[in-house]
Amino acid sequence: MSAMSAGRPALRMGPAELVQAAAMARRFYLEGKSKIQIAEEFGVSRFKVARVLETALERDLVRIEIRVPAELDAERSDALRARYGLRHAVVVESPPEGEDASPDPENLGEVAADLLGELVAEGDVLGLAWGRSTIHMAAALDRLPPCTVVQLTGVYDAGTAERGSVEAVRRAAQVSGGEAHPIYAPMLLPDPATAAALRNQTGIARAFEYFDKVTVAAVSIGSWEPGISTVHDMLTDEERAHYASLGVAAEMSAHLFDSSGRRVGRDLGERCITVEADRLRRIPEVVAIAGGRRKAAAIGAVLRSGLVTSLVTDTMAADYLLTEFTPGPRPALDRADPDE
């Protein structure tokens, strides 16, 4: 008895088997038919169909490829989402070392713009906070459903409104065809009384009225060091030293956080034109846009705060967050307040 008649080698399929497997695979993977439908067509059991499809994969008759654009890292994105309990995490490739030294690479804003195009629905209220990354994002927007756009913070410098967050709000509203509610005021004021007076001005008060209606927000994150936090750069040396003594590790929309995600230096907020933390926590979808190794620990601190639901970042920050930073007991999706 020859070896062939004794039994077909385990990894070999005969021509009839190959043709049948290819036909079943075509029905299942390309035509979207169910295993029951395929079984009825070929006169076999659905268990037989399942075995044939499994064998087709094992023997390389069928190849399944999952392709995402080269700049997106799907594996890190999914790992980051799961580790921090995020609704969405999108990780993009960091620029080659030394090629882009800016704290907010423009490609983050471009990807965030595409993400907002997915998340915002017709009739939503989109809130935009000051930040270089949100400005990059607004500049990259090319599609948004009809929605209202409101500014969530004052500007870094009232003289930069035309190329800063006011322009970002205008741009987003132009793309969506909706109303724009900008805030023509600095983010940081000299004292609480001046800030309170500005909040009561008609235009600013009207924008604040929309804060409780915001359904999707985009924010930036800064670490407590020069050039990486707008608020840090606006303060005096004495003020920076004071807040540093409180353990500030991160800043977002003029709110300060220690490494555990707890808010510190709350007196600063009294001098700022910004959305309150409690209101931010009630917004259903808050997308943070931040990347780079210098911001990695700050991103982790803000994620621990429970204020953020989604994150657009880069591989450099993602690697730190996945290997060197512990999420803590309250992942971002819980929206829990670590101060309570």
Instruction: Please tell me the predicted confidence (pLDDT) of residue 67.
Output: 59
Please give the C-alpha separations between residue 133 and each of 48, 98, 137, 213, in angstroms, as whole numbers: 53, 19, 6, 23
Please give the C-alpha separations between residue 297 and each of 80, 159, 239, 303, in angstroms, as whole numbers: 14, 31, 22, 10
Instruction: Please tell me the predicted confidence (pLDDT) of residue 62.
Output: 83
Token representation of residue 331: 């992942």
Q: What backbone phi and psi angles, to 5 degrees, belong to 3?
A: -65, -35
| Pick from 149, 126, 300, 109: nearest CA to 215 | 126
What letter does residue 155 receive in the DSSP assignment? B
User: pLDDT (tens digit, 0 to 9) for every residue of the chain, 340 residues total?
Assistant: 333 333 434 456 667 778 888 889 889 988 889 999 999 988 999 999 999 998 888 888 887 765 555 578 888 999 999 999 899 999 998 877 654 455 666 688 889 999 999 999 999 999 999 888 888 899 899 999 999 999 999 987 544 444 577 889 999 999 999 999 999 999 999 999 999 999 999 989 999 999 999 999 999 999 988 878 888 888 999 999 999 999 999 999 999 999 999 999 999 989 999 999 999 999 999 999 999 989 999 999 999 999 999 999 999 999 999 999 888 766 777 788 887 7
Euclidean distance between CA atoms 214 and 127, whole angstroms: 6
Please give the C-alpha separations between residue 246 and each of 23, 262, 301, in angstroms, as whole numbers: 67, 11, 14
Between β-strands 255-257 and 263-264, what pairing exists: parallel, antiparallel or unpaired? Answer: antiparallel
In this prediction the pTM is: 0.78
The answer to whether the beta carbons of residues 95 and 59 sit under 8 Å apart is no
